[in-house]
Structure 1
Amino acid sequence: MHFDVFNGDADGIIALVQLRLAEPKDSILVTGVKRDIKLVAQVDVKQATSVTVLDLSMEKNTIALNKILAHGIPTLYVDHHRPGDIPESDQLTAIIDTDANTCTSLLVNQYLNGKYAYWAVAAAFGDNMNASAIELATQLGLSKDQQEKLKALGIYINYNGYGASIDDLHYPPAELFKLLIAFENPFVLIDDEHSVFSALEQAYSQDMQKVKLAQTLADEKQCKVITLPDEAWARRVSGVLGNDLANQSPNKAHAVLTENSDGTYRVSLRAPLNDKQGADTICIQFPTGGGRAAAAGINYLPAELVSKFIETVKLYY
């Protein structure tokens, strides 16, 4: 039995869409909200005959991965986050690239020799890798209008992945994957007014209208920090809002702090677009922090550490 383990954001879902369009498989889907990254442990080594892992930090899943490999289970692992020490095993095929301008779907696109490259463009836009998305789209001869359509698709899929739990999301990531894989060509999906694209477009528009409720904690040369309330809509927009702010002021770092029900904050940090490094270095200094150089986060930042977090960001940049 095959297990597909993937991040519930645009990059993870679309990476799997590309792979399963090219290599169809009946599989058990293991996924969750974007911050739910320790998913490899959910693979049942007594059942699994093969495993694919997409867009999940190997560093955060080392123990579970080693267990799978110890059982002699062939594993394909594609990712762009900090890997830690990559296990040496004949059963492991690891495609890992931590370059700040690539993402898992772009790596899968290379692996598949561009077979479903339109999907990869959407994923890169969704992961806010606009320059890389435009570069690939230009190679494919896509018009500006086509690029904007794929950008919207990527953003909406990514927006759907943010939440404290599946209940916050409009579509559970496994369900969204099943809806997307019905379309070899994403433009057919986009042009279908009854598709999930239209539903997410409407939901995204409604949630983003509430962003005016955000409060600014800091707005200085190095960074801007805003807070959002403990509401489902706020958790859903936290990631895409961070990307929007980063695009508006590419020389600043941006952090969105969304209040958790226990009074702590869920942090989404974006490094300056013109200096895409250091976000992971900052976040791992705090408990429950992690991520990659260009974008990282903290799941539970105590209220008493908010000032320290802001100072850490300011000093770093």
Structure 2
Amino acid sequence: MAAAPHYDVFNGDADGIFALHQLRLHTPRRAQLVSGVKRDTGLLRRLPDAAGQVTVLDISLDSNAAALRRLLDGGAEVEYFDHHSADCAFAHPRLRLHCDGAPDVCTSILVDRHLNGRHRPWAVAAAFGDNLAGAARRLAQDTGLDDGALAALAQLGQVVNYNAYGEREQDLHMAPAALYRALGGHDSPFDFIAASDAYRALCAGYRDDCALMQGLRPHAELAGGAVYILPASAWARRISGVLANQLAAARGGASFAVLNERGDGSYLVSVRSGAPLTLSACGFCEQFEGGGGRKAAAGINHLPAAELGRFMDGFRRYFDAAAGADHAQ
């Protein structure tokens, strides 16, 4: 009787892809890959009951709790690494859970800890891609990486992360599973940067989309930040995360929302909190169906057009509290 297959289930952004690459450099394994666009977070629903062994990376446990229980009840052994909200976490003898929701942690950092820094440059690139530049630089201390090397890792993380944004895989330059396979044979991210045609193609797409982004203007300016509503086009969906991260980096303490119109007229929402410890992005997004994420960055997968007014009012009330506190000091 054939053994049950192993499944590697991972978010399609830089953090999920580089977390899996670190693990498989350390422990090579044949596995069926399950991934998708960044917001395709309910990935465990795709797995059959008799899944055997499952490795899960960078998808919210809260969004997958029911499917996770189903797999465990079917006899699966699951190792789970994630940094998103895990309020629904539970103990199980066949579940090994590595979760940390701190705002300066990403999944690749959790894998780096698990592997004692064995493949650290990949974790540094992932942290840069997840908009955790400070954490990336701290992680790189004592590695001997100079400023040029750090800049190269930052660009790698940003470009691979950018590729994950879209309503569907057809919006992306490269499907996440294919991009993960393109890393195969590259122990060092610097080798991948130097040799990969796939990486050069992503960089070209990134430059083209960033040029289009320069013409964007906010839909609403608020005391605590701004809201952007982007045109209904593939390039705008790809660039939404880059825009949100750049806005957050340019105005420390301010909060931003970037909305992309979906094909059905609803919105895909990215939120960045300027005060993640007191006014978390996930705390705001969880007020809407399909919303969640982490303290600094979160989103809503499907905001109905009829809910846009409620979203705008709620965003203003929630994040202007931070601006009012700052002005009072």
Please give the TM-score of this superposition, normalised by the length of structure 2. 0.92
Deviations 1:10-52 (A, max 9, x none): 1111100000010000000011100000011212232x22110
The alpha-carbon deviation at position 312 of structure 1 amounts to 1.7
CA distance in 2, matches of 1:202, 1:249: 27
- 2:25 is the alignment partner of 1:9: no
Q: Secondary structure at the match of 1:114?
A: coil
Of 172, 182, 185, 1:182 maps to 185
Letter in 2 for 1:147: L
SS in 2 for 1:139: coil
The residue number in structure 2 matching 1:268 is 270
- 1:39 counterpart residue number: 43
Deviation at 1:298, TM superposition (A): 1.2
Q: Which letter does structure 2 place at the counterpart of 1:161?
A: A
Query: Is there any run of 5+ residues in structure 2 with no aligned partner, and where?
Result: 320-329
C-alpha displacement at 1:273, in angstroms?
6.4
CA contact (8 A) 1:276 1:294 kept: no
- Indicate if the aligned counterparts of 1:258 and 1:267 stay in contact, CA closer than 8 A: yes
The residue number in structure 2 matching 1:166 is 169
Q: Conserved in 1, the CA contact under 8 Å of 2:277 and 2:295?
A: no
Measure, in 1, the Cα distance between the counterparts of 2:131 and 2:114: 21
Instruction: Kindly indicate whether the alpha-carbon contact (under 8 Å) linking 2:85 and 2:292 is maintained by their aligned counterparts in 1.
Output: no
1:290 aligned onto 2:288: no
Q: Tell me the equivalent position of 1:256.
A: 258
Counterpart of 2:325? Answer: none
Counterpart residue type for residue 201 of structure 2: A
Question: 3-state SS of the aligned residue for 1:131?
Answer: helix
Cα distance in 1 for partners of 2:229, 2:209 equals 15
Q: Which residue is equivalent to 2:326?
A: none
Number of aligned residue pairs: 315
Residue deviations 1:71-117 (CA, integer Å, cap 9, x gap):
22211000001112322211010000000100000000000010100
Match of 2:62 among 53, 59, 64: 59
Q: Percent identity?
A: 43
Any conservation in 2 of the 1:250–1:274 contact (CA below 8 Å)? no
Q: 2: CA distance between counterparts of 1:139 and 1:221?
A: 41
Q: Distance in 2 between matches of 1:173 and 1:220?
A: 35
Match of 1:23 among 8, 27, 38: 27
Q: Which runs of 4+ in 1 moved over 6 A?
A: none
CA distance, structure 2, for counterparts of residue 211 and residue 234 of structure 1: 8
**Residues 129-163 of structure 1 deviation map (CA, whole Å, 9 limit, x = unaligned):** 11100111123121111111000000010001011
- Deviates most, 149-158 or 77-86: 77-86
Q: What are the equivalent positions in structure 2 for 1:116-155 lying under 5 Å apart?
A: 116-155=119-158
Q: Does 1:228 align with 2:230?
A: yes
Do 2:230 and 2:260's aligned partners in 1 also have CA atoms closer than 8 Å?
yes
Contact map agreement 2:276 2:295 (CA 8 A) in 1:
no
Whether the aligned pair in 2 keeps the contact of 1:214 and 1:227 (CA below 8 Å) is no
The alignment yields a C-alpha RMSD, in angstroms, of: 1.5
Distance in 2, matches of 1:280 and 1:266, equals 15
1:208-267: CA deviations, max 9, x gaps? 111134231222330111111110000000011100111011110011111122222211
Q: Distance in 2 between matches of 1:127 and 1:16?
A: 15
Contact 2:6-2:54 at 8 Å conserved across structures: yes
Q: Where does residue 303 of structure 1 map in the other structure?
A: 305
In the TM superposition, residue 274 of structure 1 has moved relative to its aligned partner by: 7.2
